[in-house]
Amino acid sequence: MSTPLTPRDILRPGIAGYIDPSHPSIAETGEGELKVFRRAVYAAAIAVSGRITHFAPADPGSYYAATIKSPHGATEHILCHAVFPYVAFVAALDPFDLRFIDNPRLIPFFAPPLLILPPTLLEAPLTIDDDTLKSLDKGTQSAIKCFKPRRLGDLIFNWYD
Mean pLDDT (whole number) for 102-123: 95
The model's pLDDT over 76-92, given as tens digits with 9 standing for 90+, comes to 999 999 888 999 999 99
Give me the percent of the chain exceeding a pLDDT of 70: 89
User: Are the C-beta atoms of residues 109 and 91 closer than 8 Å to each other?
Assistant: no
Q: What distance, in Å, lies between the first and last C-alpha atoms of the chain?
A: 38
Enumerate the domain spans of the chain.
27-123
pLDDT for residue 116:
97
H-helix or E-strand spanning residue 154: helix 152-156
Global confidence as pTM: 0.90
φ, ψ of residue 38 to 5 degrees: the values are -60, -45
Whole-number Å distance between alpha carbons of 90 and 79 = 8
Q: Which of 24-33, 104-113, 150-159 has the lowest mean pLDDT?
A: 24-33
Whole-number Å distance between alpha carbons of 76 and 47 = 12
Q: Which of 15-24, 26-35, 89-98 has the lowest mean pLDDT?
A: 26-35
φ, ψ of residue 124 to 5 degrees: the values are -65, 145
Residue 1 pLDDT greater than 70, yes or no: no
